[in-house]
Structure 1
Amino acid sequence: MDVRVQGGAPPDPFLSAADLLTTEHELDHPVRVRVRDDPDERTWAAHYDDHHVLNISRQAATSAMARELALHEFAHMARYEEGHASHTQSTDEALFLALSGQSVERRKLAHCYQIANHMRDIYADDITIDVAPGAKLIQFLESELAAAVADAPGPAGDRPSGAEPASTESDPDITAVNAAFALGLAERHDLIDTDHRLYDLARAAAADAPSIGVEPFKHRFRSLIDDPSESDFRRDLVAVTKAYALGNERAAD
């Protein structure tokens, strides 16, 4: 696997991630790692005819999670190369099918794209958890969720222990879906026990977003089929989009 790091960051985390990936998967195209100074854009992958690009912020590239973040993006690249339906189905097409003729808030529409990314993340992390321990990933998800829950509108006394408030309020609705994603991924791979703190955080997130059904969303993420056809994935993406944007998931809870 050909990996070249541009931007002055230490190459070791990226080479280590590549070594992990190649124990089970191989990329046909080379990867260019571009380290960027914008800390708000943590990581994202781009795909071209003859190569992939892993864009990563300098902050992320030099963090304790650098290897795991790189491995996650390499897994997306592997899914793309294998033509996995989650990475070939157009999000725009599915959202059009789900929301045609409906009036949807702009923030909700933006959240729908984030939820589509979560569905792709499930399939990428099926690879990452297959080739590397999932403990650091769970710690990362727990930390992200704790910050979002602490940051949500509401009395500080309602926040779970250890959840420190941040500077900008989070959106409770998408935080609840993010909690469902974290639990769905963790349960899909048996990574946590029933008393894990993620469950406490998810309950707090659900309380902050009473119109969102955390359990049904968790079930959707956890039960995504391993090798969907494009029709399968489009159906699932349309269904979860309707559930979130049109507010009918709570009724199924």
Structure 2
Amino acid sequence: MDVRVTGRGPSEPFLGARDLFATEYDLDLPVVVKIRENPDERTMAGHYDDRHELIVSRRAATSAMARELALHEFAHMARYEEAHPSHRQSTEEALFLALAGRSVERRKLSHCYQIANHMKDIYADDITLDIGPTEKLVAFMESSLARALADSPPSAPGGWQRRTDAADPEITAVNAAFALALLERHGAIEDGHRLYDLAAAAAADAPDVSLSRFKQHFRSLGADPDESEYRKALVDVTREYAVGRERAAD
């Protein structure tokens, strides 16, 4: 497995992730890691005929999660190379099928793309959690959910204005369901963990989102779906989030 790191930043996390990944998996194409000072996103992966590219911010490359982040991205590349439906299915096509003829708020449409990414992440992390330690991931998810809850706007007479996607209570509840589903799927979390309390708080802030149902959506994804099965799963979860369970069944 060929990994080349360019830019101002450490190569060790990416080479360490390569060595760990290569104990169980491999990539046919080489990986070019480009460390940038201020990319548009913290990480951005691209797939080409002759290589995979991973653009990473220098802040992410020097963080305590750098190796785990690289391992996660290598897993996405593996899913892409094996033509797994989660990584080859058009998100736009699935959203069109799910939402055709329905009026959807722009913020909810944006969240639907995030939910589709969660489904991709489930399949990538089926690989990463198979080969890597889980303690850092559990702690990362706990701190991320706690931060999102702290950023949520307070209740106020006459309602409140959502400030950012991260602070939106509805997508925060879905994110909590994703975190629990992923960790439970791999037996990486114990009963009574603080993450359950945080998830319950997120659910209480978003009464129109069923934490248990979204957790079941993510947790029950089949390991090896065909294209039709995966498309249906993505359409179902998208429709439930965007228009509600009862209206989605109409």
Shift of 1:40: 6.5
Match of 1:109 in 2: 109
Residue identity opposite 1:208 in structure 2: D
Structure 1 residue corresponding to 2:245, chosen from 239, 248, 253: 248
Shift of 1:38: 2.3
Structure 2 matches for 1:14-93, cutoff 5 A? 14-38=14-38, 41-93=41-93
Structure 1 residue corresponding to 2:183, chosen from 181, 186, 198: 186
1:237 aligns with 2:234: yes
1:152 aligns with 2:149: no
C-alpha contact (below 8 Å) 1:154/1:208 kept by paired residues: no
Shift of 1:154: 2.3
Q: For the structure 1 residues 172 and 39, does the alpha-carbon distance in structure 2 shift closer, same or farther, using more than 3 Å as the test?
A: farther
Name the SS of the counterpart of 2:146 in structure 1.
helix
Distance in 2 of aligned mates of 1:169 and 1:65: 20
Distance in 2 of aligned mates of 1:121 and 1:169: 18
Shift of 1:250: 11
Name the SS of the counterpart of 1:104 in structure 2.
coil
Shift of 1:42: 1.5
Match of 1:204 in 2: 201
RMSD of equivalent CA atoms: 2.0
| Alignment coverage as a number of residue pairs | 242
- Give the share of equivalent positions with the same residue, in percent: 67
Name the SS of the counterpart of 1:4 in structure 2.
strand
Q: For the structure 1 residues 55 and 234, does the alpha-carbon distance in structure 2 shift closer, same or farther, using more than 3 Å as the test?
A: same
C-alpha contact (below 8 Å) 1:151/1:168 kept by paired residues: no
Name the SS of the counterpart of 2:245 in structure 1.
coil
Distance in 2 of aligned mates of 1:47 and 1:175: 29
Task: Render the CA deviation track for 1:76-122: whole Å, top value 9, x for unaligned.
Answer: 00000011111111100000000000000011001000000000000
Residue identity opposite 1:174 in structure 2: I
Name the SS of the counterpart of 2:244 in structure 1.
coil
Residue identity opposite 1:118 in structure 2: H
Structure 2 length as normaliser, TM-score?
Answer: 0.92
Name the SS of the counterpart of 1:9 in structure 2.
coil
Distance in 2 of aligned mates of 1:144 and 1:242: 26
Structure 1 window deviating more from structure 2 (146-155 vs 52-61): it is 146-155
**Structure 1 unaligned residues grouped into runs of 5+:** 156-166
Name the SS of the counterpart of 1:35 in structure 2.
strand
C-alpha contact (below 8 Å) 1:39/1:60 kept by paired residues: no
Match of 1:175 in 2: 172
Distance in 1 of aligned mates of 2:100 and 2:63: 42
Structure 2 residue corresponding to 1:222, chosen from 219, 225, 234: 219
